Amino acid sequence: FYQAAKFYYYPGWHEPGTYLEYFFNKTAYESLPKDLQHIVDSVCMENEHWALTQFDAQNGAALQKLLNEHKVEMIKFPDTVLSALRKLAEEVLEEEAAKSPMAKKVNESFKNFQKVVGSWGSISEQAYYNSILPKV
């Protein structure tokens, strides 16, 4: 994209959100012996771990290349834009959650999880990064 535009707007509204999904035929999976189910589970977990670590490492290197080699300018989205995006995203999530009992259950579970993780993340990773990283 740096060839089309010399601006990098952040934060990405989709972040953090990188994850992988694995789909199996439930009947076929459950018909496997337990040791093979554990192998499948372990491979999925290991692949997820690998993908997340590669994501962080490669994105950091790519950002440095954009800034240093391609002279891309980083611009933080204004707080008003981020607030509006959050409001719209919450509206869409609520609309989708209202479509089925399972969607509602997943949405409620996610919101509860988000509260717990968000409060921990603000005193762990966010505070840590704020203390060690130079201001961009």
pLDDT tens sequence across 51-108 = 888 887 898 899 999 999 999 999 999 999 999 998 998 999 999 999 999 999 999 9
* Token couple for 77: 């989205």
User: What distance in Å separates the CA atoms of residue 104 and residue 93, rounded to the nearest whole number?
Assistant: 9
> Please, is 2 exposed, middle or buried when counting C-beta atoms within 10 Å of its C-beta (0-12, 13-18, 19+)?
middle
* Token couple for 49: 């771990």
* Token couple for 83: 């607030």
Residues 93, 126 within the same domain: yes
Q: 55: helix, coil or strand?
A: helix
Q: Is the pTM of this model over 0.75?
A: no
Domain total for the chain?
Answer: 2
* Token couple for 9: 């707007």
Contact between 61 and 68 under an 8 Å Cβ cutoff? The reply is no
Residues 24, 65 within the same domain: yes
Last residue of a domain, one of 60, 77, 94: 77
Amino acid identity at 119: S
Owning domain of residue 5? 1-77
18-44 tens-digit pLDDT? 667 889 999 999 999 999 999 999 999
